[in-house]
Structure 1
């Protein structure tokens, strides 16, 4: 019986197998009586809001739902329709497939619901038809695409510079000329004498693709570059998301840095639009999100605070953002003198650090800026408009990615500009140069010597940022009037914390997805010790992000590798001990922790890491395309470029939970990256070894750090499309590993990227702890439930049983003890896997002893203390000796052990003397 089978059986007993068409329907239009009676088939699919309460303002949402194998089958009958029960009413749902089980039944479905209506704190997915009022529609023309939703009509050109040419509300153009902008500087900011020149670039569209056409959600993908000054650079890919019932468009913006780091300095990078301003200037308004729920709001021409009082009704109307009453009723002295009140045309909010923002304004270009106010952290939303309507624009992680900025220009003119600066032009230019010189490291021998002291693998020319990317999430509203302070605050919350529907950990676990894990459970003293340690470690890292300010445009979402207790700092400036870059599966640690707990703070931590590691730590063009960079001082500074960092295993959980198309693109990019393994010889600095030799046309590939890091992309593509060539490539690798003489204990073998097969005798013996810590454990657990690969199953179980085995057992198996085993505690999950599948209780107890071999992980609270005073920059809660490698791998081992051999934990702890 598999882990969690009892709960899964209960779940399945409450459901009825249903059929869907091979092409899953986009949205319901009608439902048969039979389907209506089957509402109980998804009756357990209750969704809640990630942050708890229902959002005050809802702009639509998309979420993923898993299904047990065989439950939702393809068929030839009427299409299965979904809707969401929202109290006594129902919300329309647009649905599509995300993944299939090997038998063709649906494994994951994606669902979108409309915005603009009140929602309850919990919703329930049901089978049944639903109607869409004022749905989204898409009409394609020869040179533009028209998206209509309610009162709004959006015109998207298929070429040129504008992402959206116009947005019309009830016949009035309320926004126009939405485009991307980039400011280039040909050198760093001045350091002494010299000069720099700047050029402006704007978006140049090369392709627009309609990916979904409604009626609940429409998605357009726009590809292009930034053009200007006779060149194209900074390729971008973004998506426009339109939801029925929403006044906004969600923009997911991705760009790749492809400049010369010595010459191409980004001075500003943003999204800008024009706002027609038809109201009198005293009825025009600018809003900025302030601290927490706060709002800063002022008129272009204020009537409050004047020497003469215009009257209470006029003051209240302007503060509220509504049109002033007829001027005939205004105090005559104010009415006559209104022309002398300055019109403030330009406004700017700059968040240059994660700890502070400033707001300034000026009357017009060429005049001095004056300071308005300042604060610490803002949610990142601006508005420009008036009583006749306007535009609000902002983006997620605003202060976390400082330096950022929001600008309104020309508010006193007939056409204002509103700009969201992903990189603030008020900050220093973005410097992508290497942080170091070669410093005499001209040969491999010298580079290895450097590696041995700083742990960074330096090689001239390999520390390039060319090809790294960044994704940002923006929201743009086209409104019929200036929003109230409360409404604007609710909008800002939507920007900073988009409303997200999620399932309970129990509901996800019942479907048997993502391998070996169980729902967090501290019901016994033994389990409580493990669960407390897991929680303590997570919460320490949540603190570390804030304590050590792990923020910034390129860095937010990553964590550091190793701590320096002497300085009470992470080793941010010491080679390979600095940024972690997914080393030892930090991403998986966070995602499995979320799956087990459903905690919002862990989800957001993991989400930020997924956005970072899949973009910044991976190359998306150039000679290293498809590979990631090992840990280093800069995210791209280490010369070790490997698939273990670009690993799709680190993205797929987020993809299935959210149906995020950008992450889907990132995984698909990796499908053929094994064909380029010969371009990056990972072992080039190691002494020659016959074990690493490979015939012409083949590559010596390790089973874990290489092949094990590639299979996640192939598995995901097979799941997403049903294309069996990816399954066959996986099985070829599995079976050929199993056919080698030493199987997994050969550690590597010649590999053919065309077939996915390993070859050669595989008679050498090698053990590397790295082979098992980059997702291959999780992938093997999933794959062995999906494919029939008996040779690999035997090889994997053998490796799991013997990796941590006593020396005598290894000698009996291999003829010698190869040595090289380390990270005994993190590899205890291999022992647990063998114990579970071979029903070996003695082996299960050994797995727990191995996990306990690092004793400091049992009672973590005793090792955390407070440090303040002159020893530190700010007071800290410190865990001396903390290491991300150890934290991630110990936690993953504990999670898998609990799922596999949790029934032996009490005995193991009593035997070890941990519990009486």
Structure 2
């Protein structure tokens, strides 16, 4: 049914009360207020043992007062030790999100329930105190000392009187030329991490968190700033380390060769009682001794052989067979060991007796789990890195195990790999002017500009774990540790509980109750599985790249367009991050969570700038993650990070959310629309999401409503929730109020924005539509904002936009006074129509939304799975699956539309029978 402007305005006014009645807050006020929260293990059952878990929990508005304390109870009724803190509050001050830390250990219950109450204390609390120039952490039998200055981040770990670990620090090396241009003997420069500050963020009793920051120093230079957090959980001999560094060098002269975490392990006793271990693929453990007693020509005795293989103390030496005991000095001592994973498909192990002697090939496999150990029956250290083979090239080293002090090194970029070459990948191809750059954009979709393809300011986060152990663990225990390293144990709220709390806008748990719903659910599952498999089949791995996906597919070459401008790495284009997170929220699926986690770790670090002129902005999609010249808040938006932060309470992600607060100020350094007018007719460069030029005054910037303002509002909303600081709420309201006051409201696309006040100043008197304005989190952010803030005028202008975007030409002109243009992605925008239908109680709009969703000409068909085929033989490098018409843009927007339409107007779906057009 056509929607006249008059009818729309009347419907908006009459439905305002109804809209409030269906908002999340109102729904919860009608009786869904829960005061308990059930937690489940992400992978379905508790691990045999774990080293401490932290998770988030969500609470409906009004359910819990601000100062609530929490207790955890197992299904048996037993109290479980827990440490809790609030991570977000509702506008009324009641608790919205909490974080909960649990001790390490074994025998965890299958489920836990959190409720208001007095928390149980751990049997041996973990505590942190400052002692002069160090921080001391006491955790059961282990006492850790963390430095507040100098190179040693962990100065020591002691068990009683015995020191088992010391001098843990960071190391890096670089060279001044790229590998292809090197001559023999080109020198490397070494840099060591130097602490600038260290502070206790949490002091126990279940979890202690220490934050350390510093830089790498060497050759009279300071660079590669880092921050890391050390996490100690009661009941665990481990420390988990979340380490982030920023590349602040020059890509033309700074070629990183090695990045590592290194430490010393004091060793005591005979070398035949010293053990070396590496975890291989699956549950495999490679286990040997520094001086082997097996395989000798003469037998030392079964008790000696069996003890050494098991990693246990051998019997007294006098019980050893004379022929071996009297000739021990002739059995080589193997002091140096290396496990190297240069790529995602294979690792090797080598060893040698000591420096200056040849390496011996030992063994190899496909994908190592990233765990090593060196020690003896009187103590040792296990060390490991998460996402080990996925972040190749990586390496584990053990050196000098035959001496009184072994060295271990976790190389998160291996020093024997080719130097890290971050230079821009082409010479500019003559694109000096904006006109030529727009011509290049037309052919390769790359928005190139000299000097903008710089990696200076990008970052990477890596997770390490160190265990200070009383003795060499059994092979079975090491396999458990390696499994937990590769697949960390996690507790999570149930999807139903998250939904009942009214969080993150419009979504609902997976529902296959009708054939039409089941068909949509099946296709969403198919697409998620397809992308999970593409990560593996296309080898989307590597130090900088793991976590990202490709943008578009080349059907002729049967590859993703890895080398074609803006069609290569997606860099969050059209919100695959949100598609993954909303898919996880509604399903609780572990594989989806880990896809989303890897993407969040990548896009928040590598695709964004953390220092320099583009700090606070991210980079549009391209052949290199930093290559495109379009630097925008739409990539650095907090909308892509906040779900992970609240589910996990990850402090590093919390840092990134705060970095995004100043994204509007970054626009004073980058004019997003600078190329507008550089082609005939002043057409906006496709894909930039820029707005019409409007000559801002001093203290103002041009800002689009969706790709910029909504992206920034996600950070302001999160900071308001986290801190209760109403300045951020007021900044959001200022933007909402002044957008609504513009003559064309949301239809203006953007306007001049005053940085001091957060207000839009105009002109906003022309319709300027961009298909990108609503597809970088704007739909999701607006749904949340309108459930939390009462700004009726903004609500009306947003609903105007939602109704009109996919309306007919006549309806659009009647509502806006302008001709319809600048609109595509109709399928993805069906969720705007659905939102308006729900808010206005309009069944005709709901039917229109489903028609838009099923329109294959505007997006994906409903039989995507039927077009999948496997390619093999000489046409491809390896067997791969291909769905030629799927792009990351299309899949992400289809997935988000499916999820939100089901939540908003799923009850209207049964009346519509989709008709699929014939395949072209």
- With normalisation by structure 1, the TM-score equals 0.95
Q: Is the 8 A contact 1:63 1:112 kept in 2?
A: yes
CA distance in 2, matches of 1:646, 1:716: 14
Mapping 1:62-461, distance limit 5 Å: 62-74=54-66, 80-85=69-74, 87-129=76-118, 130-191=120-181, 193=183, 195-461=185-451
Q: Give the match for residue 797 of structure 1.
A: 799
CA deviations over 1:664-719 (Å, ceiling 9, x no partner): 00010111220120210111111077743222321111101111110000000000
**Which of 751, 754, 762 is the aligned partner of 2:753?**
751
* Matched position secondary structure for 1:771: coil
**1:120, distance to aligned residue in structure 2 (A):** 2.0
**1:48 aligns to 2:26 (yes or no):** no
CA distance in 2, matches of 1:616, 1:261: 15
**Which of 672, 681, 692 is the aligned partner of 1:682?**
672
**1:175, distance to aligned residue in structure 2 (A):** 0.4
**1:704 aligns to 2:706 (yes or no):** yes
* Matched position secondary structure for 1:679: coil
Q: Give the match for residue 617 of structure 1.
A: 607
Q: Give the match for residue 2 of structure 1.
A: 22
CA distance in 2, matches of 1:579, 1:11: 45
CA distance in 1, matches of 2:818, 2:286: 72
Mapping 1:723-734, distance limit 5 Å: 723-734=725-736
Cα distance change of structure 1 residues 513 and 341 upon mapping to structure 2, 3 Å threshold = same
The worse-fitting range, judged by mean Cα deviation, of 807-816 and 582-591 is 807-816
Q: Is the 8 A contact 2:70 2:114 kept in 1?
A: no
CA deviations over 1:149-179 (Å, ceiling 9, x no partner): 0001111121101101111111211100000
CA distance in 2, matches of 1:163, 1:783: 42
CA distance in 2, matches of 1:86, 1:149: 27
CA distance in 2, matches of 1:346, 1:284: 13
CA distance in 2, matches of 1:131, 1:521: 40
The worse-fitting range, judged by mean Cα deviation, of 759-768 and 343-352 is 759-768
CA distance in 1, matches of 2:184, 2:52: 51
Q: Is the 8 A contact 1:267 1:430 kept in 2?
A: yes
CA deviations over 1:577-599 (Å, ceiling 9, x no partner): 00000001110000000001100
* Matched position secondary structure for 2:595: helix
Q: Give the match for residue 553 of structure 1.
A: 543
The worse-fitting range, judged by mean Cα deviation, of 87-96 and 287-296 is 87-96
Q: Give the match for residue 30 of structure 1.
A: none
How many pairs align?
Answer: 883
CA distance in 2, matches of 1:536, 1:3: 31
**1:739 aligns to 2:741 (yes or no):** yes
The worse-fitting range, judged by mean Cα deviation, of 157-166 and 186-195 is 186-195
Q: Is the 8 A contact 2:862 2:916 kept in 1?
A: no
Q: Give the match for residue 511 of structure 1.
A: 501
Q: Is the 8 A contact 1:533 1:857 kept in 2?
A: no
* Matched position secondary structure for 1:110: strand
CA distance in 2, matches of 1:261, 1:196: 18
Q: Give the match for residue 911 of structure 2.
A: 907
CA deviations over 1:693-747 (Å, ceiling 9, x no partner): 2223211111011111100000000000000000000000001000011100011
CA distance in 1, matches of 2:183, 2:263: 37
The worse-fitting range, judged by mean Cα deviation, of 553-562 and 700-709 is 700-709
CA distance in 2, matches of 1:74, 1:177: 42
CA distance in 2, matches of 1:191, 1:766: 50
* Matched position secondary structure for 1:153: strand
CA deviations over 1:209-257 (Å, ceiling 9, x no partner): 1100000000000000011111111000000000000000000000000
Cα distance change of structure 1 residues 371 and 646 upon mapping to structure 2, 3 Å threshold = same
Q: Give the match for residue 597 of structure 1.
A: 587
CA distance in 1, matches of 2:576, 2:438: 26
Q: Is the 8 A contact 1:403 1:553 kept in 2?
A: yes
Q: Is the 8 A contact 1:692 1:748 kept in 2?
A: no
Q: Give the match for residue 787 of structure 2.
A: 785
Q: Is the 8 A contact 2:676 2:693 kept in 1?
A: no
Q: Is the 8 A contact 2:855 2:861 kept in 1?
A: no
**1:898, distance to aligned residue in structure 2 (A):** 0.4
Mapping 1:796-875, distance limit 5 Å: 796-854=798-856, 856-875=860-879
Q: Is the 8 A contact 2:24 2:787 kept in 1?
A: no
CA distance in 1, matches of 2:763, 2:426: 44
Q: Give the match for residue 17 of structure 2.
A: none
CA distance in 2, matches of 1:10, 1:800: 27
Q: Is the 8 A contact 1:3 1:900 kept in 2?
A: no
Q: Give the match for residue 880 of structure 1.
A: 884
> Over aligned residue pairs, what C-alpha RMSD do you find?
1.6
**1:815, distance to aligned residue in structure 2 (A):** 2.0
CA distance in 2, matches of 1:251, 1:894: 38
In structure 2, runs of 5+ residues without a counterpart are 1-20, 683-691
Q: Is the 8 A contact 2:809 2:820 kept in 1?
A: no
Q: Is the 8 A contact 1:11 1:510 kept in 2?
A: no
**1:896 aligns to 2:900 (yes or no):** yes
* Matched position secondary structure for 1:476: strand
Cα distance change of structure 1 residues 238 and 745 upon mapping to structure 2, 3 Å threshold = same
Cα distance change of structure 1 residues 312 and 594 upon mapping to structure 2, 3 Å threshold = same
**1:570, distance to aligned residue in structure 2 (A):** 0.2
**1:497, distance to aligned residue in structure 2 (A):** 1.0
CA distance in 1, matches of 2:916, 2:886: 24
Q: Give the match for residue 15 of structure 2.
A: none
Q: Give the match for residue 22 of structure 1.
A: none
**1:513, distance to aligned residue in structure 2 (A):** 0.4
**1:191, distance to aligned residue in structure 2 (A):** 3.9
**1:12 aligns to 2:43 (yes or no):** no
